[in-house]
Amino acid sequence: MLIKIFSTSLVSRTLLKNNLDIVKVPVREKQIQIPKKRHPSWLPKQNRVLHNEYITTENNEFVKEFIQSKYDSPLNIKPIEPITNWKKGLRRTGLIAKKIGIYPIWLQNGKKVNSTLLQIIDNQVIKYIAPEDFFPVKSKRTIVKNRLGSLVIGAESSDPQLFRKEYCKLFENSGVMPKRIIMRFMISPEAALQPGTPLYASHFKPGEIIDIRAKTIDRGFQGVMKRWGFKGMPASHGVTKTHRRPGNIGSGGKMARVMPGTKLPGHMGNRWRTIRGYRILRVNTKYNVIWVMGHNIPGETNTFCYLYDTVLPTRKSKTPPYFPTYLPDLNKKPIPEDLYADDVHPFKAPTIQFSEES
């Protein structure tokens, strides 16, 4: 009884109270989240260790002829499923493109704009995963309303001798040559395509708005002036060896620690970024090249990027696109070699027009 009375009294509370000042440390910014590209569980390792097998030139040529005859056989080409009409809200597949350079383009009003050339190299459908079998990794807060399927697309055919046996088995059902780049696109079940279906640059029309996902250039370890655009210290008047330093980061006092999200020197680049709202100016159907307005697409030259239909609600195309993709066999009218947007000046058109005096 005496212990209970002592524990409930005010004197005991003051004696047993911890004399600690609890300081709530504020967070300066949300911590920078590095977007990751998660590979599926069924994707094995790609490259194998190459050894000198001492094959003669005659046998090497025979192996190349056999590989071409195996993958270029007309027996591997399967019939294409019937096409469904496009409706608002349906999602179709994207393309895998290679960044090949920057080139200027002139508009009808005489304005010069820069454009990035993206080439579609050997894009083919490898595998289709139905919505019942496709379970992407999502956060706990996301609520899935409409289940989407997955379409595996491959680009840049390569020699099967360069890959592992397990990796080459992924392409047996599709009947296509092993691809060096593989990407999954989330699509609606109505936009599913059979394995082996080729995809062309005419999948997108000139004037459409697309989103581009690519990996930025790897800059390595950089300071705050190049990484975050800091101004730096003055160049004179008593400044000693702190010209390119970040300066005070404001972590003194009771906090006594570096706040999460503080802009400091570190690794720059080599991150996946998605840029939205880029307009297509020109499409070349012969070489499968797309001219995209802008020169700030992430990545170096000869690196791959992924093209999607834009998700911006106000920038979506009002005209129906080729759904599920452009198929030259089913299209009655052949498409010309060069396709331009409405406000782009064609190269073959005359720049100066003369008219006779009345």
**pLDDT, tens digit (0-9, with 9 covering 90-100), for 198-213:** 999 999 999 999 999 9
Residues 185 and 173: their CA atoms lie apart, in Å, by 19
- Dihedral angle of Cα 120, 125, 128, 131, to the nearest 10 degrees: 20
pLDDT band at 55 (very low <50, low <70, confident <90, very high): confident
From CA 283, how far away is CA 95, in angstroms rounded?
A: 14
Please give the sequence-ordered ranges of beta strands (E in DSSP) within 134-178, or none if there are none: 149-157
pLDDT at 11 over 60: no
- The pLDDT score that the predictor gives to residue 40 is 78
Q: What is the pTM of this model?
A: 0.80
Write out the two tokens for 72. 């270029």
Question: What's the pLDDT tens digit per position in 313-338?
Answer: 988 888 889 888 888 877 667 888 89
Cβ atoms of residues 103 and 282 within 8 Å:
no
Tell me: pLDDT of 307 over 90.
yes
At 115-127, the pLDDT tens digits run 999 999 999 999 8
Considering only residues 28 and 309, tell me which one the structure prediction assigns the higher pLDDT.
309
Q: What is the mean pLDDT of the chain?
A: 83
- Residue 18 has a pLDDT of 47
Report the C-alpha gap between 36 and 349 in whole angstroms: 46
Mean pLDDT, range 83-97, rounded to an integer: 86
Burial per residue of 59-84, b for 16 or more beta-carbon CB atoms within 10 angstroms, e otherwise: eeeeeeeeeeeeeeeeeeeeeeeeee
Confidence of residue 309 (pLDDT cuts 50, 70, 90): very high
For the beta carbon of residue 27, count every other beta carbon within 10 angstroms. 9
Structure confidence at residue 185 (pLDDT): 92
For residues 269-295, give the mean pLDDT. 93
With b for 16 or more beta-carbon neighbours within 10 A and e for fewer, the 306-327 pattern comes to bbbbbeeeeeeeeeebbbbbbb
Residue spans of beta strands (DSSP E) within 174-263: 179-187, 198-199, 209-215, 220-222
DSSP character string of 223-245: -HHHHT------SSSS--S-SS-
Q: Give the pLDDT confidence score for residue 75 in this predicted structure.
A: 46
pLDDT the model gives residue 223: 95
Q: What share of the chain is helix, strand, coil (3-state, %, to 5)?
A: 15, 25, 60
pLDDT at 78 over 80: no
pLDDT digits (tens, 9 = 90+) for 182-198: 999 999 888 888 888 89
Instruction: Return the higher-pLDDT residue of 284 and 44.
Output: 284
Q: How far lies 54's CA from each of 50, 58, 59, in Å?
A: 12, 12, 10
Instruction: Report pLDDT for 42.
Output: 79
The SS3 call for residue 285 is: coil
Q: Hey, which of 61-70, 106-115, 142-151 has the most confident mean pLDDT?
A: 106-115
Greater confidence, 35 or 111?
Answer: 111
Q: Is the pLDDT of residue 96 over 90?
A: yes
Fold of 91-135+147-219+268-340: Elongation Factor Tu (Ef-tu); domain 3 (2.40.30)
Of 262, 266, 264, 263, whose CA–CA distance to 28 is shortest?
262
1-15, 136-150, 186-200 — which is least confidently predicted?
1-15
pLDDT confidence of residue 20:
44
Quote the pLDDT of residue 274: 92
Mean pLDDT check: name the lowest of 59-68, 82-91, 265-274, 286-295.
Answer: 82-91
pLDDT recorded at residue 23:
46
Report pLDDT for 145. Answer: 65
Lowest pLDDT segment from 62-76, 234-248, 272-286: 62-76
DSSP of 312-358, one letter per residue? -TTTS-SS---SS---TTT-SSPPPSEEE-TTBPPSSS-SS------
The DSSP output letter for 47 is B
